[in-house]
Structure 1
Amino acid sequence: MVNTFQQHQHAALPRANHDERARQEFTKSLKQFVQQGLLPGLTPVYQTRAAKAFEKEHGKPPADRWDIRKAMVKDLYFQHYAATNRIAQELLWEAVIGSVERQLPELEKAIADLTASNPAPLESDPAFPVPRYVSALDIHCMPGGYASEIDGKDIAQGAIYDRGVYLYAMGYMGPDNDDMGRSVCNYVKRKMPGFQPKRILDMGCTVGHSTVPFKEQFPDAEVIGIDVGGPCVRYAHARSKALGHDVSFMQRSAEDTGFEAGSFDLVVSHILLHETSGQAMPRIFRECHRLLKPGGLMIHADLPPFDLMDPFTQFILDNETYYNNEPFWGAMRDKDQIGMARDAGFPAETIRFDTAPMAIMEFAGADTTYTEDAAEALAEREFTAGEYAPGGGWEVLIAQKAA
Structure 2
Amino acid sequence: MSTTPTEQKLDVAPPYNAVARHGVSPEPSHDEVARFDFLANFNKFLSGALGPGNKLAYDRRVLPAFLKEHGREPQDRFEIRHAMNKDPFHKFWSALKRNSMEMRQQNGRSMVLRQIDELNARARQFNEGRDTLELNPEIDVPRYQSAVDIHCMPGSYHGEELPGDVSAGANYDCGIFATTAGGLGALSDGGGQALVEWIKKERPGWEPRRVLDIGTTVGHNIVPLALAFPNTEFIAIDTAAPILRYAHARAQSLGATNITFIQANAEDLSRWDDGTFDWVQTTMFLHETSGKALPRIIAEGYRVLADGGLMFHLEQPEYSDAMPLYEQFIRDWDAFNNNEPFWSSMHALDMKTVMVEAGFDRAELFESGVRAVVDTDIFPEAATGDDEDHGRAAYWHAYGAWKNSDQMQHAAE
Can you list the C-alpha shifts for 1:93-115, whole angstroms capped at 9, x where unaligned? 00111111111111111111122
Q: CA 1:108/1:83 → structure 2, altered by over 3 Å: closer, same or farther?
A: same
Can you list the C-alpha shifts for 1:293-326, whole angstroms capped at 9, x where unaligned? 1111110111111115211111111011010000
The structure number with the bigger radius of gyration is: 2
User: What is the aligned counterpart of 1:295 among 289, 308, 316?
Assistant: 308
Quick check: 1:370 aligned with 2:383?
Answer: no
Q: Find the counterpart in structure 1 of residue 359 from structure 2.
A: 345
Q: What is the aligned length? A: 385
| Superposed displacement of residue 73, structure 1 | 0.9
Q: Find the counterpart in structure 2 of residue 264 from structure 1.
A: 277
Q: Find the counterpart in structure 1 of residue 95 from structure 2.
A: 83
Q: Find the counterpart in structure 2 of residue 274 from structure 1.
A: 287
| Superposed displacement of residue 123, structure 1 | 1.0
Can you list the C-alpha shifts for 1:156-181, whole angstroms capped at 9, x where unaligned? 10101101222222221111111111
Structure 1 segments unaligned to the other structure (5+ residues): 375-386
Matched-pair contact (CA < 8 Å) for 1:28–1:92:
no
Please give the TM-score of this superposition, normalised by the length of structure 2.
0.88
Quick check: 1:4 aligned with 2:11?
Answer: no
Quick check: 1:145 aligned with 2:156?
Answer: yes
> What is the correspondence of 1:2-401 to structure 2 with a 5 Å cutoff?
3-4=13-14, 6-116=18-128, 119=130, 121-150=132-161, 152-246=163-257, 247-257=259-269, 258-307=271-320, 308-360=322-374, 370-371=379-380, 393-401=395-403
Aligned CA-pair RMSD: 2.2
Matched-pair contact (CA < 8 Å) for 2:226–2:234:
yes
Matched-pair contact (CA < 8 Å) for 1:206–1:227:
yes
2:288 partner amino acid: E
Q: CA 1:373/1:330 → structure 2, altered by over 3 Å: closer, same or farther?
A: closer
Q: CA 1:96/1:196 → structure 2, altered by over 3 Å: closer, same or farther?
A: same
Identity value in percent: 38
Matched-pair contact (CA < 8 Å) for 1:141–1:325:
yes
Structure 1 stretches of 4+ with a deviation exceeding 6 A read 387-392
Matched-pair contact (CA < 8 Å) for 1:184–1:301:
no
| Superposed displacement of residue 393, structure 1 | 3.4
Query: What secondary structure sits across from 2:170 in the alignment?
Result: helix
| Superposed displacement of residue 336, structure 1 | 1.2
Q: CA 1:129/1:151 → structure 2, altered by over 3 Å: closer, same or farther?
A: farther
Query: What secondary structure sits across from 2:265 in the alignment?
Result: coil
Please say which of residues 164-173 and 2-11 is displaced more in the overlay: 2-11
1:38 partner amino acid: L
Matched-pair contact (CA < 8 Å) for 2:152–2:339:
yes
Please give the TM-score of this superposition, normalised by the length of structure 1.
0.90
| Superposed displacement of residue 57, structure 1 | 1.4
**Structure-2 separation of matches of 1:369 and 1:150:** 34
| Superposed displacement of residue 150, structure 1 | 4.8
| Superposed displacement of residue 373, structure 1 | 11
Which gives a bigger RCO, structure 1 or 2 (Cα 8 Å, sep 6+)?
A: 1
Q: Find the counterpart in structure 1 of residue 4 from structure 2.
A: none
Can you list the C-alpha shifts for 1:125-155, whole angstroms capped at 9, x where unaligned? 3442011100111001111001122565121
Q: Find the counterpart in structure 1 of residue 7 from structure 2.
A: none
**Structure-2 separation of matches of 1:373 and 1:281:** 38
| Superposed displacement of residue 396, structure 1 | 0.7
